[in-house]
Amino acid sequence: MNSKFNANTLTSKYTPKVTLIFDQTFQDSLKVQSLIDSL
């Protein structure tokens, strides 16, 4: 039970960062895509 709690804490701690990085990458790829489309 204790290890499960630790895992949940780690997940809630790091998930926002991972989501933020992924979101940034996704937005960047959208920008690149729109640039390619404008060519």
Single pTM value for the model: 0.51
pLDDT of residue 2: 66
Could you give the CA distance from residue 20 to residue 1 in angstroms, rounded to a whole number? 29
> pLDDT averaged over consecutive 10-residue blocks of the chain (39 residues)?
70 82 91 91
Could you give the CA distance from residue 39 to residue 25 in angstroms, rounded to a whole number? 21
Where does the chain show beta strands of DSSP type E? Answer: none
The tokens for 25 are 């990458």
